[in-house]
Amino acid sequence: MRWGCHLGFVLLLAGCASYESQTGSFRGAWNGGSTGQAAQIASREANKRSDSRDAVVWFLEQGAALRAAGQFAASNHAFEQAEKRIAFYDRQAKVRLSREATGLLTNLAALPYEGRGYDRVMLNTYQALNFLQLGQADAALVELRQAHAEQDAEVVRNARRIVAARKSAGKYERAIRGAKLDELQPDIALDYGAFVNPFTDFLHALCLWSLADDGRENALVSLRRIHSTLGGPEFLKDEIKLVDRILGGANHPDLTYVIFETGVAPIRREVRLDVPLFDKNVPYVAAAFPRLERRGRATLAHVAIGEAKREATLICDMDAVIGRDFRTELPAVILRTLAASAAKAAIAKKVREEAGDLGAIAGFLYQAVGAQADLRTWASLPKAFRVCRVETPGDRKLTLLVGPQKSEVMVNTGRVNVVCVKSFAPGAPLKIQQFRLK
């Protein structure tokens, strides 16, 4: 009886719909470019789940969707909610007994989503873009400084996780090899190393030299860092030269930076595997693991002025950023998932021995429902950030091309302008927003 009550409680905790199914309609609207509808769905879900373990990820989706829908102040409010929640989790001790126990008796999806490192950086980056859109330059710089601090913190966290991952992967190499868990590793075409998000650094650099009252020299530090991380693209080499001249007091022509956010970030799918534990009581366990799945292909983007066409440079491959995060986290996920599956198998065995057939059914249900991978991930992030800088033409007219899609924009007056272009799935309309930096 006692076992039955405990199992019932745990089943309640573990048996909720996966994030993948929760976000089905949201992702449908988002991928089709229906930003208004996506914002509505995300807002409804975020309100419904504001006190739940999924609150952070839903606030992030809400913030991104409202931003794309042009509701910048509301978007920042959603991001602030996510930020507060993340800060709340950060204030708690790094390892919580209750958290670990919950994870052990249920699954990792039953634990609160506390925001991954790249979520935190992107959250501040989008807030900064929103503030720039709202004409609040100082607030934007605050957000970019926060993003910079988060990047630095994440570089340290990443290094720590990589070392820990190597250690734990070594310990359970036999189990991991036996179950072919290596297949869960995502392919990463580009590897930025421990570095987190070059786009955030690029935006920070742009705002520093064009907006900031002080610390403008730091723009060059960021640009040099991205230049070396990305393997020295010509565009960044030019950008460093240009900014160096400007900081030395040289005049510059009217400039327009076009930021392309293309495609959609990878999501997580569940893979169920039988893993041998080489234990006589629990010889093997059935466990559910997350696997990263890319969506769509990389799309090139161009800016055309009359007949002249210039290709935008890839500044940040979000597939790589998310893939790197997933890869460094994976050994710990495997370890904790195996521990949870083993604990559940041991409990189910005990129940079967004590309560006979009824216990066997309850134990089976407990194991089946409890085996759920954590599939939560910020799904409305883009696949890539590309940037192109052009001298603003006299007629201020730019043609923007993303794959087969084409759109025209009349750039605002100003010394330095930014045009943000967001593309979704092929065929969905481009979303264009712009603001003046200087």
Partner 1 sequence: MKPLVKLITAAVLPALALGCATAKYIDHDGRDSVVNVGQINTQDWIRAADELTQSLLLSGAIQSVAGKPKVLMIGRIKNNTTQHIDTDSLMKKIRVALNKGGRALTTTAVGLDGPEDESSKAVRELRADDEFNQATIPGKGNLVSPDYSLSGKIIQNNARAGRIKQSEFAFQLSLTDLKTGLAVWEEEKLIVKQGSRAAVGW
- Residue among 294, 324, 327, 336 that touches partner 1 (CB under 8 A): 336
Comparison of 56 and 338: residue with beta carbon closer to partner 1:
338
Question: Per CB under 8 A, does 251 bind partner 1?
Answer: no
Query: Which residues within the stretch 53-82 sit at the binding site for partner 1 (CB under 8 A)?
Result: none
Site track for partner 1 across 285-324, x = CB under 8 A: ----------------------------------------
| Part of the chain binding partner 1 (CB under 8 A), chosen from 66-74, 98-106, 286-294, 368-376 | 98-106
- Residue among 105, 318, 320, 342 that touches partner 1 (CB under 8 A): 342
* Helix/strand/coil percent split, the chain, to 5: 55, 15, 30
Element housing 217 (H / E): none
Element housing 251 (H / E): none
Comparison of 91 and 297: residue with beta carbon closer to partner 1:
91
Q: Which of 160, 54, 71 shows the shortest CA–CA distance to 110?
A: 54
- What's the min distance (Å) between Cβ of 136 and partner 1? 18
| Part of the chain binding partner 1 (CB under 8 A), chosen from 18-26, 164-172, 230-238, 351-359 | 164-172
DSSP notation for 149-201: HHHHHHHHHHHHHHHHHHHHHHHTHHHHHHTTGGGGSPP-SS--TT---HHHH
Query: Which residues within the stretch 193-222 sit at the binding site for partner 1 (CB under 8 A)?
Result: 213-218, 220-222
- Residue among 73, 101, 189, 361 that touches partner 1 (CB under 8 A): 101
Q: What angle do CA 409, 413, 416 make, to 5 degrees?
A: 95
Q: Which residues are CB-contacts of 273 (< 8 A; sequence separation ≥ 6)?
A: 179, 180, 181, 286, 287, 288, 289
User: Which amino acid, residue 270?
Assistant: E
Question: Per CB under 8 A, does 155 bind partner 1?
Answer: no
Distances in Å between the Cα of 59 and the Cα atoms of 63, 89, 171, 326 are 6, 15, 37, 21
Pairing label, strands 255-262, 416-422: parallel
Q: Give the single-character DSSP code of 347.
A: H
Handedness of CA 410, 412, 416, 418 (dihedral sign): negative
Question: Per CB under 8 A, does 170 bind partner 1?
Answer: no
Applying CB under 8 A, the site for partner 1 has a residue count of 47
d(Cα 95, Cα 111) in Å, to the nearest integer? 12
Question: Per CB under 8 A, does 241 bind partner 1?
Answer: no
Query: Which residues within the stretch 171-190 sit at the binding site for partner 1 (CB under 8 A)?
Result: 171-172, 175
- Side-chain half-sphere CA neighbours of 225 within 13 A: 22
- What's the min distance (Å) between Cβ of 265 and partner 1? 27
**Structural contact between residues 275 and 179, judged by C-beta atoms closer than 8 angstroms:** yes
Q: Which of 90, 66, 105 shows the shortest CA–CA distance to 370?
A: 105
- What's the min distance (Å) between Cβ of 338 and partner 1? 6
Comparison of 56 and 340: residue with beta carbon closer to partner 1:
340
Comparison of 96 and 269: residue with beta carbon closer to partner 1:
96
- What's the min distance (Å) between Cβ of 24 and partner 1? 31
d(Cα 149, Cα 140) in Å, to the nearest integer? 14
| Part of the chain binding partner 1 (CB under 8 A), chosen from 187-195, 243-251, 352-360, 411-419 | 243-251
| Part of the chain binding partner 1 (CB under 8 A), chosen from 63-71, 168-176, 309-317, 397-405 | 168-176
- Residue among 140, 196, 321, 343 that touches partner 1 (CB under 8 A): 343
d(Cα 242, Cα 164) in Å, to the nearest integer? 42
Question: Per CB under 8 A, does 249 bind partner 1?
Answer: yes
Question: Per CB under 8 A, does 94 bind partner 1?
Answer: yes
- What's the min distance (Å) between Cβ of 225 and partner 1? 7
- Residue among 139, 282, 298, 368 that touches partner 1 (CB under 8 A): 282
**Structural contact between residues 63 and 75, judged by C-beta atoms closer than 8 angstroms:** yes
d(Cα 206, Cα 200) in Å, to the nearest integer? 10
For residue 216, the SS3 value is coil
The binding site for partner 1 (CB under 8 A) comprises 93-97, 99-101, 103-104, 148, 159-160, 163-164, 167-168, 171-172, 175, 213-218, 220-222, 224-225, 247-249, 277-279, 281-282, 335-336, 338-340, 342-343, 346
